[in-house]
């Protein structure tokens, strides 16, 4: 069922009416979205808060999604991506700049949040890069049942030469950091570890599949520079630097 079909007819009329109202338009639209108890409406509600630079309210809406809905794996991934995007935008705003004033490093950080996905937060982040920096990507075309080339399974010959990948975002982080991994092999005691400068393991998360996503809780970790390690078969495959700012 598409998003439009989930909206009651009278609510659709109210949305159209309030969209044409120039007085407190964003607040009015938010009031309508709050009447619709679907995940899609929660993202739309969060977006209205972002339009008003009310980042904490936007976070609260997305953080509360699991309280009202049972989320599947992809939906949970989308939720964490949205939280990463909100935190990213909040950091830019706190620095007194807009998304039209991003550094090269910040543009790359935004690309890391997108992570080649096409869900709501990834699309909104991609729109920023496309509109302000000309970094656009082609829309999906062809048979909807066929994955785009970038996401099609590797051929056996390619798989033999595949390398593991490790992606950490947002970076810097404050409350959490999402870690996306591709072991390029079957997991055997696979782990993601967060270590301090002395090499002490602060957090250890199990990776149960060759391609996975885990979340590091940074809220209780002091500000500083840490390392995130990907381990499989008792071997450290990759290491990434993670900066935590509280």
How high is the pLDDT of residue 54? Answer: 93
Confidence band, pLDDT 50/70/90 cuts, at residue 56:
very high
More confident call, 155 vs 175: 175
**pLDDT, tens digit, for every residue of 136-153?**
877 665 544 444 544 444
How high is the pLDDT of residue 101? Answer: 92
pLDDT above 70 coverage of the chain, percent: 80
**pLDDT, tens digit, for every residue of 162-220?**
688 888 888 888 888 888 888 988 999 999 999 887 778 899 999 888 888 888 888 88
**pLDDT, tens digit, for every residue of 72-115?**
888 888 888 899 999 999 999 999 998 889 998 888 888 888 88
**Distances, alpha carbon 101 to alpha carbons 108, 133, 163, 212, in Å:** 13, 10, 35, 33
**Distances, alpha carbon 91 to alpha carbons 96, 151, 213, in Å:** 9, 31, 23
How high is the pLDDT of residue 146? Answer: 47
Residue 2 has pLDDT above 80, yes or no: no
Q: E-assigned strands of the chain?
A: 165-169, 176-182, 191-195, 201-206, 211-217, 224-232, 235-244
**Distances, alpha carbon 207 to alpha carbons 80, 171, 187, 212, 215, in Å:** 17, 21, 7, 7, 11
How high is the pLDDT of residue 190? Answer: 92
Query: In order of start, what are the domains of the chain with their CATH numbers?
Result: 4-133 (1.25.40), 160-244 (2.60.40.1930)
How high is the pLDDT of residue 75? Answer: 87
More confident call, 43 vs 28: 43
Residue 23 has pLDDT above 50, yes or no: no
């Amino acid at each position: 069922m598409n998003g439009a079909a989930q909206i009651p007819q009278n609510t659709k009329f109210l949305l159209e009416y309030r969209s044409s109202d120039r007085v407190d338009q964003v607040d009015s639209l938010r009031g309508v979205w709050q009447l619709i108890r679907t995940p899609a409406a929660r993202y739309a509600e969060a977006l209205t808060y972002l339009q008003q630079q009310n980042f904490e309210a936007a976070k609260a809406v997305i953080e509360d999604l699991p309280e009202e809905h049972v989320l599947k794996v992809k939906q949970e991934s989308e939720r964490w991506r949205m939280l990463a995007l909100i935190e990213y935008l909040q950091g830019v705003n706190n620095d007194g700049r807009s998304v039209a004033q991003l550094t090269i490093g910040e543009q790359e950080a935004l690309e890391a949040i997108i992570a080649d996905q096409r869900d709501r937060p990834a699309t909104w982040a991609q729109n920023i890069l496309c509109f302000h920096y000309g970094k656009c990507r082609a829309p999906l075309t062809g048979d909807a049942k066929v994955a785009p080339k970038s996401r099609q399974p590797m051929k056996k010959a390619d798989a033999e030469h595949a390398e593991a990948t490790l992606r950490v975002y947002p970076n810097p982080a404050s409350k959490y950091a999402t870690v996306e991994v591709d072991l390029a092999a079957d997991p055997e005691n696979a782990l993601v570890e967060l270590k301090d400068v002395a090499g002490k393991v602060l957090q250890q998360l199990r990776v149960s599949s060759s391609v996975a996503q885990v979340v590091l809780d940074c809220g209780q970790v002091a500000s500083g520079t840490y390392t995130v390690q990907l381990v499989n078969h008792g071997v450290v495959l990759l290491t990434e630097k993670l900066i935590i700012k509280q």
